[in-house]
Structure 1
Amino acid sequence: MLALPVLFRNCLTVKLCKLRCGSSRTSGEPSGQRSKVKVSTDMAVVRQAVCEAFWGMCAADSMSMPVHWYYNIQDIRRDFGGWIAAFSSPPDKHPSSILSLSNTAGSGRSASSSSKNRGDVVGNVILHDKLDLWKSGTGSVHYHQGLHAGENTLNLLCTLRAARTLASGGFADASLPDARAAVLSDYVRFLTTPGSHADTYAESFHRSFFADWRDSSPTSPDEILKFAEKRSALKLSSPFPDGQLNAIGCLPMIIPFVLLSASANEEQAVSAAVEFVKLTHPHPKVPKYVSIYSRALHAVLGGASVRQQAEHALRKLDAWDACQSYSHKAARFPASSADRLKVHQSAVNYLGLACYNDGALSSMFYLAYEFHDDPKEGILANTNCGGENCNRGAALGALLGAGAAYSGRGIPQEWKDDLKDGQELIPEILKKL
């Protein structure tokens, strides 16, 4: 079993975690008993941090899903009658959709001649009933057409399935090859099975992976791992890396590797995340960004301050000075006010509204810094900042959720109740911890 499930296999519910967190110690207890109570309490708090991180990433992704890639934030107010404040279904049309320009044969936008010759991966290998939406002449199809309020995007579904595989796999730890093989095997089975999900969009890393996978179509865990390792080595050594892979969409699927390494040391947790992301996002710059995020999340799971970890990350990203300027501006206005939200929207627009890692992580850590003790408002602000808010939100939600176990402000229960995919998969994952 992974280190975390070994520690918490008798802690089966979030409620039980809270009860153990409240365990009291009396002066009459023997010192050894006091030590055992403290260890039990610490383990329960870490487990609660893991639980809230799962809920936080799902809530942030689902909240943003209907306005994913809204680059003109005024379109949010127009389409939804104001700023997003609850889970919603996506409209049929997206005001700035470029889905029809995306490459259905692999990564990026319009297909190259070589990828055209290989045929569409969308419709034939993955997203079996969605090709007509990608090739729609209207050019305004919503990326997540087919989803409903409270449902999660394809990336988060893959994340939840990765967590379930890791939690139930009986691995020595999440950084070992057999853990990666099992997750990749489930990933291949999930995406290549017709009707396995309702999402319309699969970003470049999915399309690139399966454009290469279909040549030999390996199915066993060992074969898929060997294929992915060979592919990764070739792409990481290429003088022309695929820039579409250097995107914040690299973070959701590594989050379970960090969460389920919460009781392991930091290097083991970071290794688990980095070694896996090389197989899905083989770009030479990605490991650096995944390492920065993984170290922050692992530290917060252990009780470190979200705000301090965000500052540390922003300094590494050379974004601290800019963030401080926006933070000072935001502080002039009341919390949760429209004026303060406007400052946050300006900050995210300046730091990085799109998917590319340097800007997107700077925006995410800025929001983590500002909302370090308020997951609900942080998730809503992220949504209403627009742009790449789903993957940015998943990373933010996990951080804020983990920190909430120590601050006392968790993910709202009404949100948890309305998260359809979360309600189906998170309890199953938690039972295996």
Structure 2
Amino acid sequence: MSAVRRSVSEAFWAMCAADSLSMPVHWYYNIQDISRDFGGWISGFNAPADRHPSSILTLSNTAGSGRSAWSTGAKRADVVGSVILHNKLDLWRSSNGSVHYHQGLQAGDNTLNILCSLRAARTIVSGRFADVSQPEVRAAVLSDYVRFLTTPGSHADTYAESFHRSFFADWQDGRPTSPSEVLKFAEKRSKQLLSSRFPDSQLDAIGCLPMILPFVLLSASANEDEAVSAAVEFVKLTHPHPKVPEYVTIYSRALHAVLGGASVRQQAEFALKRLEAWDACQSYSRKAARFPPSSEERLQVHQNAVSHLGLACYNRGALSSLFYLAYEFHDDPKGGILTNTNCGGENCNRGSALGALLGAGAAHRGAAIPQEWKDELRDAQELLPDILKEM
């Protein structure tokens, strides 16, 4: 296996591992709740607890993006329970305010976003497209995405974030299904939303990265501009917000360079400077260096750094946190992935993109994420071997 193929393979496995490890503590905003609910900091795969201490699932809009209280104008039909998440509406409307976002998942499972990412990868490799940046690739991926999310029982996750709900709130009017029809719908919708005077802030979120990861990873042998174009043109269809292409470009350039053998630490520094977060990150980096690796004190510095840089989903802060952790753990993918999990907040989507970077870099040093992690990844074990064999 070539060095680039090994890098792509490890990136996929690490993407899945980081998401699955974080899943039970996804959106834990009081990090002490992590150690309380799991008897210490997370060190392996777990199922979600029965309750989620920070859950606001029941406030989420079942008919589209954002929160129910934000909805204005005419009441739209629910998409949760009818178009997507067919058996989950009762959890979204539960009188129990602590419903876990990922109720129904087991230890080693992946969240909906990573399942969508893996299916995108499978669609791309099975189509044997010569150029991943071409429209027919986006059409094929979106058509499979529609089929997956609208098929009852296709997955066990409870939550679908705003971009899914917004997409299907618009999709349900015409319900296109063929690749050409879905692409035409998505392009028209994207053009309208990107030119809106009031873009949906919920789309400027780190959840934009999981589904673009296969486009970059499977463009590892293409030139950088082609890989970045593949990612950006796709994300415009799922996250049509004017700021998102810039952030996806920053991340995609870094990942593509690392797949080719570039230094993770150097690429993280470049990205942090573009995000205007370099000085703050250097301050936390110096503080962390005062304490022994793997110590509670060093973990606390990293937790404080992520809390300061961006604990929530919004892209600028979340990417700053992601690249800070990539800089700190450039040669320690296992440590970086676990630290990301134990920093809480939007750790699943942040973690999957961080994992891809760290996994890609590790392969070029002859390293890998732990085999026992790969063995416990239930969804990845089902989907990834065939993807990697065909690519």
After TM superposition, the score normalised by the length of structure 1 is 0.89
Partners of 1:81 and 1:49 in 2: CA distance? 34
Aligned partner of 1:135 in structure 2 is 93
Question: Do the aligned partners of 1:375 and 1:409 also contact (CA within 8 Å) in 2?
Answer: no
* SS state at 2:36 partner: helix
Partners of 1:264 and 1:222 in 2: CA distance? 25
Say which is worse superposed, 107-116 or 349-358, in terms of deviation: 107-116
Partners of 1:323 and 1:416 in 2: CA distance? 31
2:152 is equivalent to residue 194 of structure 1: yes
Deviation digits for residues 74-102 of structure 1 (CA, Å, limit 9, x no counterpart): 00010000000000000121001000000
Percent of matched pairs sharing the same residue: 79
Structure 1 residues 414 and 103 mapped into 2: Cα distance closer, same or farther (>3 Å)?
same
Aligned partner of 2:104 in structure 1 is 146
Question: Do the aligned partners of 1:107 and 1:204 also contact (CA within 8 Å) in 2?
Answer: yes
Deviation at 1:177, TM superposition (A): 0.1
Structure 1 residues 87 and 113 mapped into 2: Cα distance closer, same or farther (>3 Å)?
closer
Partners of 2:338 and 2:184 in 1: CA distance? 41
Question: Do the aligned partners of 1:125 and 1:214 also contact (CA within 8 Å) in 2?
Answer: yes
Deviation digits for residues 12-51 of structure 1 (CA, Å, limit 9, x no counterpart): xxxxx2xxxxxxxxxxxxxxxxxxxxxxxxxx00000000
Partners of 1:115 and 1:365 in 2: CA distance? 39
Deviation digits for residues 217-273 of structure 1 (CA, Å, limit 9, x no counterpart): 001000000000000000000000000000000000000000000000000000000
Alignment partner of 1:228 out of 180, 186, 198: 186
- 1:69-88 alignment runs, 5 A limit: 69-88=27-46
Question: Do the aligned partners of 1:236 and 1:283 also contact (CA within 8 Å) in 2?
Answer: yes
- 1:262-281 alignment runs, 5 A limit: 262-281=220-239
Partners of 1:324 and 1:114 in 2: CA distance? 43
**Paired letter, 2:56:** I
Partners of 2:300 and 2:70 in 1: CA distance? 40
Deviation digits for residues 355-388 of structure 1 (CA, Å, limit 9, x no counterpart): 0000000000000000000100000000000000
Question: Do the aligned partners of 1:105 and 1:115 also contact (CA within 8 Å) in 2?
Answer: no
Question: Do the aligned partners of 1:326 and 1:347 also contact (CA within 8 Å) in 2?
Answer: yes
Partners of 2:349 and 2:390 in 1: CA distance? 26
**Paired letter, 2:230:** A
Residue-pair matches, total: 391
Alignment partner of 1:52 out of 10, 29, 33: 10
2:293 is equivalent to residue 335 of structure 1: yes
Aligned partner of 2:134 in structure 1 is 176
Deviation at 1:115, TM superposition (A): 6.9
Structure 1 residues 423 and 116 mapped into 2: Cα distance closer, same or farther (>3 Å)?
farther
Question: Do the aligned partners of 1:258 and 1:269 also contact (CA within 8 Å) in 2?
Answer: yes
Partners of 1:391 and 1:164 in 2: CA distance? 20
Deviation digits for residues 175-227 of structure 1 (CA, Å, limit 9, x no counterpart): 00000000000000000000000000000000000000000000100000000
Partners of 2:370 and 2:270 in 1: CA distance? 28
* SS state at 1:227 partner: helix
Find runs of 4+ consecutive structure 1 residues off by over 3 angstroms: 111-116
Alignment partner of 1:312 out of 252, 256, 270: 270
Alignment partner of 2:303 out of 345, 349, 357: 345
Aligned partner of 1:323 in structure 2 is 281
* SS state at 1:190 partner: helix
Alignment partner of 1:237 out of 195, 198, 212: 195
Partners of 2:309 and 2:341 in 1: CA distance? 16
Deviation at 1:409, TM superposition (A): 2.5
Deviation at 1:170, TM superposition (A): 2.0
Question: Do the aligned partners of 1:374 and 1:409 also contact (CA within 8 Å) in 2?
Answer: no
* SS state at 2:97 partner: coil
Question: Do the aligned partners of 1:55 and 1:416 also contact (CA within 8 Å) in 2?
Answer: yes
* Alignment gaps of 5+ in structure 2: none
2:258 is equivalent to residue 300 of structure 1: yes
Deviation at 1:112, TM superposition (A): 5.2
Aligned partner of 2:381 in structure 1 is 423
Alignment partner of 2:322 out of 339, 347, 364: 364
* SS state at 1:397 partner: helix
**Paired letter, 1:293:** Y
Deviation at 1:172, TM superposition (A): 2.0
Deviation digits for residues 380-429 of structure 1 (CA, Å, limit 9, x no counterpart): 00000000000000000000000011123211000000000010011010
Aligned partner of 1:384 in structure 2 is 342
Aligned partner of 2:313 in structure 1 is 355
